[in-house]
A and B are shown apart, each in its own frame.
Chain A
């Protein structure tokens, strides 16, 4: 499927969800949501910034508008007349948003975040609109992956696997962690993956990475030495625990069944245009989440060894009758 069709499907999912929730206009500021509805290749910046309405979706016109000074890196369905420029003056920003066709007469506006200032300014500029949760509908749209999205995840994971292999060779040669990480980042960048989703995890026995390629996340890891056998057994058990109708917490059960401690941090989470909900940690909060076909997860198999957690990550797709491991090699 072409990238055009991929984006059209995602936009349609978003607009369908807006329809269902009775939302006229979405004001988006979270990077993943913006990536999902626009498909724009924007400058990647680490971390999370103050919320601002950087992207506007209007249900009536199905048009996507973006805060940008250029159409460079943007798909053709966001032409120049749907851009509004960067400004440091929040009043001017909201003023620009209010002039977008379909915004001024919206009665229900979904936002995926806000700040006290932005909330007040939106209320001032659009006094007749009610502000509602717009993050939930994006979460619903992003929860299962389309066929084209799976192709994008596979491509990203192929690049991640190749980059991890290069770093793993360095690790086997005895290189310092920073040099192993550098080798992964270098090969990934040469393959077009210049940004990471999460920091690269290097231990004396393992390399695990989640990288971003064309807006989609790839995940791969390699492990060697004494922990390797335990990690492999754990990985098999975790993979087997992924299936339609299973609870997310069954992954914690798999850790238990292998006699392994659950590592600190995220054990499994959704994957798509980056890290996504649902998230599973050792506490089991959100463990009731039921897996369904089309969901894709990044699953971490890590074991306690010499005060560190050597392990791997892999991408697993929930299918109609089981699961498919997207990470190869």
Chain B
């Protein structure tokens, strides 16, 4: 806040509220969260002041007027009414995302251990579900099994509708893509798996407000073909080259460069990223390889304590491809893995 010369923050988004106060919102539907939302007033000196969902916008606006020393407020969510009230009070609303993402990107040891615990639980549930991924099984049945296994293993909640997407052999096989690149992710349906399906898996659970991110490629009732093994090998090679570049002082641009060293052309989904941070939000700073471009990437500098989820993609149009995720924390001289299980059935 001091870096950005902001005297007062009003936070509503649950990831920000959790970060500022340690109060985690339930992992519920967006509209439920909206009705139950807490708002938090943060100043550089005092403890955050928590306002419950029933405090009217007018009262929030007058509290802000009293406390904002220079009539400037960092605010992460504006309902139409609050927006009008702040205008009327002569308060300048300022986007606090730079302040917040900088603060949130570097994790404490305690935050890292919660992320590692969430990841362990997610991997345990994922391994169990893989055993049930057979031809004829509706994808929503895997969801049920996953939710049950994750809760039994100690997850507080699932934070994304688990994805078990059977990939087309080629982009032209659909679903329709606005970008021309393969479409991922799509919402899970009751479609039964078929023998030979290449399934891209993506799930996330929470432990005390901190999130896991588990990505794998599974095959339905079939062993990897040499071509599929090659996809996995190329993925490993890209991931290893990126990991070699992960250390304090490296930039996001260094990581995208490393990913392309072996000749792969931008081996990640262009509407997403090569890597992203993770903590109280499933994707947060630092972002690596977004469409914000190389100049933006060059400004992102890794620091010890940053958590990175790497998610390269190898796409071989006509033969599907390979996608998985690995999660690491940046250390003083490199990185340490927070994910562990092998990428079965690939070697």
Contacts and interface: CB of A to CB of B under 8 A. Distances in A.
Interface of A: 30-32, 41-51, 68-73, 80, 83-89, 92, 111-117, 119, 132-136, 178-179, 181-183, 185-190, 192, 194-199, 210, 212, 265-266, 269, 273-277, 279, 281, 283, 285
Contacts of A132: 80
B31 A275 contact: yes
B178 A80 contact: yes
Contacts of B176: 70-72, 80
Contact of B161 (A72, A84, A194, A199): A194
A116 B150 CA distance: 38
A267 to B, nearest CB: 12
A51 B151 CA distance: 30
B175 A115 contact: no
Interface in B182-202: 183, 185-190
Contact of A116 (B34, B94, B185, B287): B94
B179 A135 contact: no
A197 B27 CA distance: 9
Contacts of B154: 178
A119 B143 contact: no
B186 A276 contact: no
B15 A113 contact: no
A274 B32 contact: yes
* A-B complex: 8 closest residue pairs judged by Cβ atoms: A189-B144, A72-B175, A133-B80, A31-B30, A186-B144, A182-B148, A32-B31, A44-B161
9 contacts: A46-B27, A72-B183, A133-B80, A178-B151, A182-B147, A185-B144, A196-B28, A197-B29, A279-B35
B141 A189 contact: yes
A89 B291 contact: yes
Interface residues of B, number: 74
Given A48-B14, A194-B162, A276-B31, A181 B151 contact: yes
Interface string B239-250: 000000000000
B108 interface: no
Nearest to B211: A46
A194 B140 contact: yes
A47 B93 contact: no
B337 interface: no
Nearest to A281: B54
Given A80-B178, A198-B28, A279-B35, A45 B291 contact: no
